[in-house]
Structure 1
Amino acid sequence: MSGMEYRYGKTNKEALKKIKHELKVIYELDFCAYFLITWDIIRYSSSQGYYHVGRGSGANSIVAYCLKITDVDPIELNLYFERFLNAQRTSPPDFDIDYSWDEREDVQDYIFKRYGSQHTALLGTMSTFKDRSIIREIGKVMGLPKSEIDGFTDQTRAAINRNNDTFKKITAIYERMANMPNQRSIHAGGVLISEDPITYYTALDLPPKGMATVQWDMYEAEKIGFDKYDILSQRGIGHIKMAVKLVEENQQRKIDIHQVKSFMKDPVVNAQLKNGNTIGCFYIESPAMRQLIRKLDCDNYLILVAASSIIRPGVASSGMMGAYIKYHHAPDTVNYLHPVMEEQLKETYGVMVYQEDVIKICIHFAGMDGTDADILRRGMSGKYRSKKEFDRLVERFFEEAKKLGRPDDVVAEVWRQVSSFAGYSFSKAHSASFAVESYQSLFLKTYYPREFMVAVLNNYGGFYNRALYVHELQKSGAHIHLPCVNNSDSIVNITGVDVYLGFVGVHGLNDTFIMLIPEERRENGIYQSLEDLIKRTGLGLEQTIILIRVGALRFTGKNKKELLWGVHLLMGNKVKPDNEIELFCLEAKNYSLPVLINTKLENAYHELEILGFSLSMSMFDLLETEYRGEVCASDLINHVGQLVRMVGLYVCKKTVHTKTNKKMWFGTFLDVEGNFFDTVHFPNSTPAYPFRGAGCYLMAGKVVQEFGFASLEVLKFAKLPIYGNPVIS
């Protein structure tokens, strides 16, 4: 009971009652070993200083909470244990345990060693033929050249391809191959542990990962009754872990990142959340999520938990997301379908937001028990054990509701809402787990933005490309420097407000030199010259040229063209393998050159090519035109209903299909002031494929707003040319 005392103290009667109830179910279903093994995995990872997030429906369990498997309080959020485990469940539920991407493999290694290689294996999976892969495979069989196959998968050629006889043949075969098995692979994180040797059940593969893998997927494992442990990884935990470390190193401040409840009450953090200033923060940084947060004026944990679920396709497509936002701003206008809906769903304005809401309504509105209610919920997501059993439960929903005197029309509407989203929504516990991690990220971004964004870059970003996170780092007040052989490490480093980009982001630079250059500098001192760098590291001509062009040798005081002349004179025109250069014969040569001018524009193009973005000049600086639009993002709300022109730097897009199967797009851009604005591109006013890659676009459209969030409905749309290269993409 030490876990209960840690979480609730010694005298919490409600907690004790729930614990006893859960332990009884766990014991009767013989899942004690499952919980204990999961606890053992958490115990090991915690002893190594690893931070984890236990999420999914497992967070509905107070036993899991007391064992520190999860960090979501099921009493505080009124979570249903039956959503996780019920008396009629024949296979064990699975905990989803997230670790940082660079710690997961060690946890997996511990599991294999602790429970033995004969009893442990990774879970397999089966990939199927889908979409472009079908076209490509059929094209190869037909002996088509790559260029022709590429043309058949090009969205911009869809109209042309429809009349192509070869493409028609491919399409005919396509329909037969869709969803057929393609090849076996490895499950994202599933680990199986069996009591008998696992080879009693299947042959094993030994893929390059070096851990034995079964030859069937999770559905077969569930039928057999295997215990599955999802040991997953995500970048968000890596962001948090590294940011805490960087703050301690750079500002000499220690942060207890587990004090989440204090973060949730911090008005500065909540103001940051409400403004949608969440780039880099786990799960809440995407354009759709930032829009939703702003539409909801989201400024607290409970609203964020709801937002994490209503963004899911089932809730959004059923119209319940719009209803939730509407009633959130005007709760007095809620028209509850039935008093039970008000009683059970008042927190969410009568809208079913979480998977648990399905269980609540099945129990309290339709009179079903918790076990049948969860089986019904699982069935609606296609996870029923028997279609016949599922149909019986659907009938029972209507029959029991009728016995309770529920009006037929109300029952029909309640069932429509239940069935429309149950398979495509989160459990409340899952949303709560995501919200906890989001608050941890948001706290770091609010108070330590420079260290946080460096951590995001060093953990390979998130939803957006690297350039956007560099932009956020610049907004935080950091002085960002190009890679430098005398200051940069393999990854991005920070000292005070000075940030040096790492060699990892330099396209074309060999992995050996990414590590060797900073290691050699730390061991034997800074590099004194171009010749000194080459002698000490063994750099070849090609690798040295990359470093020169990205500006990494600016410490020499020479411009790039002088350095390029120098390295060719030093190493000769014949390019040798890096490990065969005879460095002992290298020596500085005296030569005189004419004045060589290196322009800022040239530097910008070098950076675009080698880094993927430019620090020397922004994409707006590179535009041939000086026009920057009539309106900026910060003033967009003041032009609702007006036709305006805007210039924006492309960030990302999302393609969706209308009810008539036509394509439309949602775009995200940055204005010249560095602020986000969002666009909508309807089919009737948009070319077949409007986006032409990275760069700045001129847009004309109408400003619209929804719940106080302004966006641009685009009527005209064109990419703007830049100096020296009008079609860069």
Structure 2
Amino acid sequence: MSIPALVEEAIACGVTQMVLTDINNSTGIMEFMRECDEKGIKPIAGLEFRSNKRLLYFGIALNKEGMKELNDFLTEHNLEQKTLPNLAPAFKNACIVYPYGHKEPLRENEFLGIHYGQLNSLFNKDLSIIRDKLVALQPVFVADKIEYRLHEYLRSIDLNVVLTEVTAEDKCAPTDKFLAPGQLEAKFSRYAFILDNTRNLMNRCVMDYPKGRVNLNRKTFTGNKKNDRELLEKLAISGMEYRYGKSNKEALKRVKHELKVIYELDFCAYFLITWDIIRYSSSQGYYHVGRGSGANSIVAYCLKITDVDPIELDLYFERFLNAQRTSPPDFDIDYSWDEREDVQDYIFKRYGSQHTALLGTMSTFKDRSIIREIGKVMGLPKSEIDGFTDQTRAAVNQNNDTFRKIVAIHERMANMPNQRSIHAGGVLITEEPITYYTALDLPPKGMATVQWDMYEAEKIGFDKYDILSQRGIGHIKMAVKLVEENQQRKIDIHQVKIFMKDPVVNANLRKGNTKGCFYIESPAMIQLNRKLKCDSYLVLVAASSIIRPGVASSGMMGMFIKYHHAPDTVQYLHPVMEEILKETYGVMVYQEDVIKVCIHFAGMDGTDADILRRGMSGKYRSKKEFERLVERFHQEAVALGRPEDIVKEVWRQVSSFAGYSFSKAHSASFAVESYQSLYLKTYFPREFMVAVLNNYGGFYDRALYVQELQRSGGIVHLPCVNNSDSIVNIIGVDVYLGFVGIHGLNETYIELIPEERRKNGLYQSLEDFIKRTGMGLEHAITLIRVGALRFTGRSKKELLWAIHLLLGAKAKPNNNAELFCLEAKNYSLPVLVNTQLENAYHELELLGFPLSMNMFDLLQTDYRGEMGANDLINHVGQVVRMVGQYICEKTVHTKNNKRMWFGNFLDVEGNSFDTVHFPNNTPVYPFRGTGCYLILGKVVAEFGFASLEVQKFAKLPILPNPVIS
């Protein structure tokens, strides 16, 4: 049962007080107390401790300190990965209830819990010793028989067994539910003293937690609020002089205004802690990107938390902070994927393990995955489950009894919690020890993590610091380093304002030559920038937000592009809309636009406007409150004299847009990083693409980035034991693929091969290589087949003969140093040559793409289409045939809930083109994965960008594998 359902069921059964004891977690305690307080039931907090499936004991908190003791106890065992002991420690502020049958002596605060079904065992026993220790134990897991059956399904899924294999000890009892009023008293009527003991114990419990949302974050940075205020002002003024010089009156005025609001809202510590995190990471040479709503702040800019100038961009201060706001602004701090963990480690050490934890998240059961899980525990074969998840079989499945049963279970399971995990980057820094409010988990990251998510954290009173990672920063960092090593040129990557004015960089942006570049490399973003003819920072800032789904689906993206090219034709919905949205042609582009519209068009205050925005973005979960604000938007707007039809249209745009947009500062931060990537790609394309490959790529598969490398003049070589490293390396224009990209090669050898070569020189022969690495037959064959031993001058087939003769029937050779080096025997073999086609098949298998031949060369046909991608714009309205190499596809749902697809392909010259697949055609002509396709379609164009509306579509056969044939 969900907690609201649990409380409703308790009220219906006349319950006035109850203890929540979830098994080995305290995820629901705070929500439970809020719900009970609201409904007039006394809540008591606790924990049920189990080892494997065996109940050890219940912990019941007498007060807030007792809950901390229980949480600390569980946390210690979670973090140190120790098994829970059979006997609980002596708690000062918590009681322990052992299950009836426990034989050890009981301490003062320890009791025996007895179920009414066990009362017969008390008959004719001397109860004098345990009379005061017996309490009634009535577990509640489910509400009724239907929920009990659902419980059985959930236990089957958890244990990964079919339903019939779930034993009694694997699940709760059918009687584990609330009893009707008076039933419990009746069952214990012969032992009324047990109920008296139970009431006495529960009456002692007082959950003395603060009611409502309070600020539980760390309250000061220096230990003193006055000192915090003085330090923040000193840092902000000093930073302002660094950013703007000493005589910028506008900047000084805005800094002082912001500082006043920050003081009044008591957010000094939040800013200073964020500054401290940046100070540490900068001292380590880490590069960061600061974004989120906090990036609208000039104080954040002056503290170097962000690199977005709010004066230059005219950022809307009230999106960042308004006088009614209760929670601090969001700072999303991005680091390279390989540096973030060190920053998190610093935070834990700097602010203390008792006061620091990662934020959790709750994954839920989702659509198709539920059907698969239910099908598995029902024992259905995979083929039948696949049929139930196939959208094209929906009509057939409706008449299937098994499918209807699955759907009935699906309806109850949908969106139920599945498992706890870690939030993408949230860190909590608290004033009190965090275990007052939760026990802590130790996920694979190895850092303590709370047991609830961001929504619960906010309701309790915690605000997160977002310490995130992204590949784009890794690309930039490594590319700068590679340019310095390979070309002996130092780049100041922070000179972004120079990059923004570079005509060559902007020409690449306009043309869509942006593959590999952060946030602007996807087909959709390339298409948008080409339609906009985007060639400036400010236009890219807008593009970074209007690409989001809400803007696109509401028709506002098309409107923005149209008005961008013809600003004189803009038709504003209302004079107020012109006043507040003139910069974006009356179109809402940024999150703050929603707040502007709510405040200036609908007359709402800043707090309600921000709650409305957050409600639409899914970050505020009070449905009742949200609906009240929606109604208020309409009422207030009409009261201001706005015409009703205009109000409805404005609301349509607000509601379709707000959930998916960025704040302007957020978009600006992304655009800064995009320009850094694009500058590197423009002037140092080879080093940049090597960096992209070595930071695990981006939007596309590795194959595309290798092709981009080749297009930029890089000579790409297959892995080689005498030239390759674990990752891709570059010397001049020569690029050697790394061992890490070879499928099936053991991690040990990925590092060992280059390390041994650096220590003891180049490998001299196959035998020398095997002796020095100690490699076995299987991995040696992999390296031979991928071409990594071609330095020997022998063909792959010769090497395969040799390796079987060397290792086929022997143990691994000893790789210890030898006193004498004996030459291996040479055998006379016929000439064995590998064909280019054989090599291509080896590379397909072991690298995922062919390097010896391109995908077009592998085709059985010589036909390459009627035209290339760059010629499409000259054939608008015509039906044409093209041959394209598949790059990627994207599925979207239409308003009628049908699916349609967008495809992206390369022509034989390596130029990109896009396809559109409408719902009526897609099931007949499906995508069939990587390869080349023959495409028949009509050329259409929008804002000068041509694409193909697909009419027919088929994957082309490639030449057969000569080894198999």
Q: Which one of 696, 715, 726 corresponds to residue 932 of structure 2?
A: 696
Post-superposition Cα deviations, 1:621-665, rounded to whole Å, max 9, x if no partner, equal 010010111111011111111111000010000111222222211
Aligned partner of 1:593 among 797, 817, 829: 829
Residue type matched to 1:424 in 2? Answer: Y
- Report which of the two structures shows the higher radius of gyration computed on alpha carbons: 2
Q: Shift of residue 382 of structure 1?
A: 4.1
Query: Residue 492 of structure 1 contacts residue 500 of structure 1 at CA under 8 Å; is this kept in 2?
Result: yes
After superposition, residues 250-289 of structure 1 pair within 5 angstroms as 250-289=486-525
After superposition, the Cα gap between the structure-2 partners of 1:650 and 1:274, relative to the gap in structure 1 and judged at 3 Å, is same
Distance in 2 separating the partners of 1:474 and 1:7? 41
Identity among equivalent positions (%) equals 87
Q: Which of 253, 278, 283 is residue 42 of structure 1 equivalent to?
A: 278
Contact 2:773/2:815 (CA < 8 Å) preserved in 1? no
Provide the secondary structure at the position in 2 that maps to 1:245. Answer: helix
Q: What residue is the counterpart of 1:571 in the other structure?
A: 807
Q: For the Cα contact (< 8 Å) 2:925–2:953, is it kept in 1?
A: no
Task: Tell me the residue number matched to 2:462.
Answer: 226
The C-alpha deviation readout for 1:249-292, integer Å capped at 9, x for no partner, is 11111111111111111111000000011100001111111100
Q: Is 1:202 aligned with 2:443?
A: no
Match 2:592 to one of 353, 356, 360: 356
Deviates more, 1:198-207 or 1:597-606: 198-207
Work out whether 1:545 is the aligned partner of 2:781.
yes
Structure 2 counterpart SS, 1:74: coil
Deviation at 1:113, TM superposition (A): 0.8
**Deviates further, 580-589 or 561-570:** 580-589
In the alignment, residue 314 of structure 1 is paired with which amino acid? G
Counterpart among 607, 621, 628 of residue 843 in structure 2: 607
Select 2:338's aligned residue among 91, 96, 102: 102
* Aligned match of 1:180: 416
Counterpart-to-counterpart distance in 2, 1:407 and 1:555: 79
Q: CA deviation at 1:587?
A: 5.5
Q: How far off is 1:361 after superposition?
A: 2.1
Question: SS at the partner of 1:685?
Answer: coil
Alignment partner, residue 17 of structure 1: 253
Which of residues 110, 115, 124 is equivalent to 2:351?
A: 115
1-side partners of 2:816 and 2:392: how far apart? 52
State whether structure 2 residue 485 is matched by structure 1 residue 249: yes
Q: Please state how far the C-alpha of 1:393 moved relative to its aligned partner.
A: 3.9
Counterpart-to-counterpart distance in 2, 1:641 and 1:292: 21
DSSP 3-state at the match of 2:445:
coil
- Partner amino acid, structure 2, of 1:365: F
The C-alpha deviation readout for 1:671-693, integer Å capped at 9, x for no partner, is: 11111011011122333560111
Provide the C-alpha distance between the structure 2 equivalents of 1:358 and 1:13, rounded to a whole number of angstroms. Answer: 30
Quick one: distance in 1 between partners of 2:264 and 2:303? 19
Which of 290, 300, 303 is matched with 1:54 structurally?
A: 290
Aligned to 2:770: 534
* Counterpart contact for 1:656–1:665, Cα < 8 Å: yes
Q: Which residue of 2 aligns with 1:507?
A: 743
Which residue number corresponds to residue 892 of structure 2? 656
Q: 1:672 maps to which residue?
A: 908
Find the residue that maps to 2:642 and give its secondary structure: coil
Question: Please, which moves more after superposition, 513-522 or 584-593?
Answer: 584-593
CA distance in structure 2 between the partners assigned to 1:180 and 1:379 by the alignment: 21
Count of residue correspondences? 725
Task: Give the direction of change, closer, same or farther, for the CA distance of 1:195–1:280 in structure 2 (3 Å limit).
Answer: same
One-letter code aligned to 2:279: R
> Could you tell me how far apart the structure 2 residues matched to 1:583 and 1:686 are?
63
Distance (whole Å) between structure 2 residues aligned to residue 167 and residue 175 of structure 1: 12
Q: Is the 8 Å Cα contact of residues 535 and 586 (structure 1) preserved in structure 2?
A: no
Residues 686 and 715 in structure 1, CA contact (< 8 A), matched pair in contact too: no
1:595 to partner: Cα distance: 1.6
Looking at structure 1, the residues matched to 276 and 666 of structure 2 have their Cα atoms a distance apart, in angstroms, of 22
> How far off is 1:87 after superposition?
2.5
Paired position in structure 1 for 2:300: 64
Say if 1:121 and 1:211, in contact at 8 Å, map to a contact too. yes
SS at match of 1:230: strand
Q: Which residue in the other structure is 2:662 paired with?
A: 426
Distance 2:619 2:715 in 1: 52
CA contact (8 A) 1:531 1:586 kept: no
Question: In structure 1, how many angstroms separate the alpha carbons of the residues matched to 2:701 and 2:739?
Answer: 17
1:123–1:689 distance in 2 versus 1, CA, 3 Å = farther
Higher RCO, 1 vs 2 (CA within 8 Å, ≥6 residues apart): 1
For 1:161 and 1:586, the matched residues in 2 are separated by 70
In the alignment, structure 1 residue 346 sits paired with structure 2 residue 582? yes
Q: Per the alignment, in what secondary structure is the counterpart of residue 651 of structure 1?
A: strand
Q: How many Å separate the matches in 2 of 1:39 and 1:31? A: 13
Q: 2:610 aligns with which of 370, 374, 382?
A: 374
Which is further off, 458-467 or 111-120? 111-120
**Rounded Cα–Cα distance in structure 2 between residues aligned with 1:178 and 1:677:** 39
Deviation of 1:385 (Å) = 7.0
| Structure 1 residues 454 and 328: CA distance shift in structure 2, 3 A | same
- Aligned mates of 2:713, 2:386 — CA distance in 1: 44
C-alpha root-mean-square deviation of aligned residues, in Å? 2.0
Is 1:464 aligned with 2:697?
no
In the TM superposition, what is the alpha-carbon distance from 1:318 to its structure 2 partner? 1.0
Instruction: Give 2:647's aligned residue.
Output: 411
Rounded to whole Å, the distance in 1 between the matches of 2:808 and 2:632 is 84
Q: What amino acid is aligned across from residue 525 of structure 2 in structure 1?
A: M
Contact in 2 for aligned 1:283/1:434 (Cα 8 Å)? yes
Is residue 2:367 matched to residue 1:131?
Answer: yes
CA deviations 1:526-564 (Å, max 9, x no partner) are 000000000001111001000000000100000000000
- What residue in structure 1 maps to residue 710 of structure 2? 474
Indicate the residue corresponding to 1:558 in structure 2.
Answer: 794
In 1, the alpha carbon distance for the partners of 2:902 and 2:855 equals 21
CA contact (8 A) 1:570 1:586 kept: no
Which of 403, 428, 448 is the matching residue for 1:212?
A: 448
**SS at 2:920 equivalent:** helix
Cα deviation, residue 618, structure 1: 0.7
Give 1:156 deviation, angstroms: 6.2
Give secondary structure in 1 for the equivalent of 2:253.
Answer: helix
Which residue of structure 2 aligns with residue 85 of structure 1? Answer: 321
Amino acid at match of 1:217: D
Which stretch shows the higher mean deviation, 4-13 or 97-106? 4-13
Cα offset, 1:56, TM superposition? 1.2
Encode CA deviations 1:83-132: one digit per residue, 9 max, x unaligned. Answer: 12223232333311100000000001111111111111111111000023
The 3-state SS of whatever aligns with 1:710 is strand
Contact between 1:478 and 1:497, CA under 8 Å: does it hold in 2?
yes
8 Å Cα contact 1:538-1:583 kept in structure 2 = no
* Aligned match of 2:407: 171
**TM-score of the superposition, structure 1-length normalised?**
0.96
Alignment of 1:122-161 (within 5 A): 122-154=358-390, 161=397
The SS at the match of 2:851 is coil
Per-residue CA distance 1:490-541 (angstroms, 9 max, x = gap): 0000011010000010001110000010011011100000000000011110
**Cα distance in 2 between the residues matched to 1:385 and 1:699:** 46
- What is the one-letter code of the residue matched to 1:465? D
Q: Give the unaligned 5+ runs of structure 2.
A: 1-236
Unaligned runs of 5+ in 1: none
**Amino acid corresponding to residue 687 of structure 2 in structure 1:** E
